[in-house]
């Protein structure tokens, strides 16, 4: 079965339109801050949310709105997280009502998300005017504007789309995402909104999303912080015309493969665009005694501030990698572990059976000066594998976050 990347983002699947504008939440008028995604037909829907005990009002409202597995549209603002505000639920609900009125749908059929500063009251005047202005502008070419409108400290828009054929029907999945800092998800990464024209039940949609999130978004870390507003949502309108996917059959597996391909691409984009980052890091663990152990080890290495700073300095300090492997909360034998570092400049082995090897520091430096670094960990004690993604930790990360609010 062929899976192909296409353009169009969330508007690539049939029946979806989107858009984004500057409505006035953010002071910088050149930055868009309000996005809407709309389907011409009501969708089955699913989402996963942050497990942070402090969570934004939009999370609570979305949970209630799509509890029945249905949604018709999505609205998201940037610049204000609408979190830890006494009137947060009231204002998130009002955003849904205003959006519903503008689109001619039910307020309970809306997914809502917010991102930005925590703990500041959100001004509804620009949002009310913005929704009224944005609704008529929604178009099949609006994914890029929507992707821009959900950005905060991101430096690049993140969107992707994938197609595959299921029987005689062409299925398309599209997505936009934002995420640059405050990323160490315990469900997903910051915000990612996925659309598809596949016909699939809400139950199978939820199962597919959870499976893919666990292997992609949940394996990303920029700085070890789990946000209060993390959400990944998916809407499926069925306009591709396929027989509805209602069980974990061949069609479901194909859908999961496409969703994983899409989500992996977005995860890599977010890792590469981490706040202040100069390098994309990928840690691939193979030969682990269990899937959980593989995930724990990969994420432990990617989370390590000392590993991240070593990669920034192009320093092949493999002891930091072994240290991070060693404190992973998993059962395994360290004296079987091999470690390799590689990039497009070459590959070098730095550790065998848990002990260091002689290697050329100059060759290692050349490898680590590249913009994408691979850390391969061969555990040699099973068949399980996992991959995690992250970035280096730089001086600019501190600069960005030192005065983020003020």
The pair of structure tokens assigned to 219 is 């394996």
Strands 220-221 and 191-196: unpaired
Backbone angles phi, psi at 27, to 5 degrees: -70, -35
CA distances from 369 to 90, 277, 314, 361 (A): 50, 13, 6, 12
CA distances to 31, 79, 111, 160 from 20, in Å: 10, 14, 16, 17
Residue 243 CA: distances (Å) to CA of 100, 159, 400: 30, 27, 49
The whole-angstrom distance between residue 395's C-alpha and the CA centroid of its chain comes to 24
To the nearest 10 degrees (0 to 180), the angle between helices 318-326 and 305-312 is 160
**What φ, ψ does residue 64 adopt, rounded to 5°?**
-70, -45
Active-site residue, selected from the candidate residues 44, 189, 228, 267? 189
To the query of whether residue 99 is one of the catalytic residues in this protein, the response is no
Three-state secondary structure of 18-72: EEEECCCCCCCCCCCCEEEEEEEEEEEEEEEECCCCCCCHHHHHHHHHCCCCEEE
130: exposed, middle or buried (Cβ count in 10 Å: 0-12, 13-18, 19+): buried
| Nearest C-alpha neighbor of 188 from the set 47, 284, 62 | 47
Q: Which residues are 234's β-sheet partners?
A: 46, 194
Other C-beta atoms within 10 Å of 150: how many?
A: 29
Taking alpha carbons only, the member of 235, 236, 195, 187 closest to residue 212 is 187
Active-site residue numbers? 189
């Amino acid at each position: 079965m062929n899976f192909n990347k296409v353009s169009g983002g969330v508007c690539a699947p049939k029946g979806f339109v989107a858009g984004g504008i500057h409505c006035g939440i953010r002071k910088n008028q050149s930055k868009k801050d309000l996005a809407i995604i709309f389907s011409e037909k009501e969708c089955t829907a699913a989402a996963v949310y942050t497990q942070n005990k402090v969570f934004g009002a939009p999370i609570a409202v979305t949970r209630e709105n799509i509890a029945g597995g249905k949604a018709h549209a999505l609205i998201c603002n940037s610049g204000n997280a609408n979190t830890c505000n006494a009137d947060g639920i009231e204002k998130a609900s009002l955003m849904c009502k205003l959006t519903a009125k503008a689109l001619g749908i039910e307020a309970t059929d809306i997914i809502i998300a917010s991102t930005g500063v925590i703990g500041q009251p959100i001004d509804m005047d620009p949002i009310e005017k913005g929704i009224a202005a944005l609704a008529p502008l929604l178009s099949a070419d609006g994914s890029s504007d929507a992707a821009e409108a959900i950005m905060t400290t991101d430096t690049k828009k993140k969107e992707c789309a994938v197609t595959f054929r299921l029987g005689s029907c062409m299925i398309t999945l599209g997505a936009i995402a934002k995420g640059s800092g405050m990323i160490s998800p315990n469900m997903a990464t910051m915000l990612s909104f996925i659309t598809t024209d596949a016909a699939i039940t809400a139950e199978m949609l939820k199962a597919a999303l959870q499976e893919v999130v666990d292997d992609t978004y949940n394996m990303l870390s920029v700085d070890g912080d789990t946000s209060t507003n993390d959400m990944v949502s998916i809407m499926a309108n069925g306009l591709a015309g396929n027989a509805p996917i209602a069980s974990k059959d061949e069609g479901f597996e194909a859908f999961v493969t496409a969703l994983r391909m899409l989500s992996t691409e977005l995860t890599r984009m977010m890792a590469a665009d981490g706040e202040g980052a100069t390098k994309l890091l990928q840690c691939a663990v193979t030969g682990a005694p269990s899937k959980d152990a593989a995930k724990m080890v990969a994420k432990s290495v990617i989370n390590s501030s000392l590993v991240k700073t070593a990669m920034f300095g192009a320093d092949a300090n493999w002891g930091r990698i072994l240290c991070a492997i060693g404190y992973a909360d998993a059962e395994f034998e360290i004296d079987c572990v091999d470690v390799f570092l590689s990039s497009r400049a070459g590959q070098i082995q730095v550790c065998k059976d848990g002990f260091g090897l002689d290697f050329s520091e100059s060759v290692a430096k050349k490898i680590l000066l590249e913009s994408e670094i691979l850390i391969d960990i061969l555990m040699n004690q099973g068949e399980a594998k996992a991959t995690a993604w992250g970035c280096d930790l730089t001086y600019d990360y501190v600069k960005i976050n030192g005065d983020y609010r003020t």
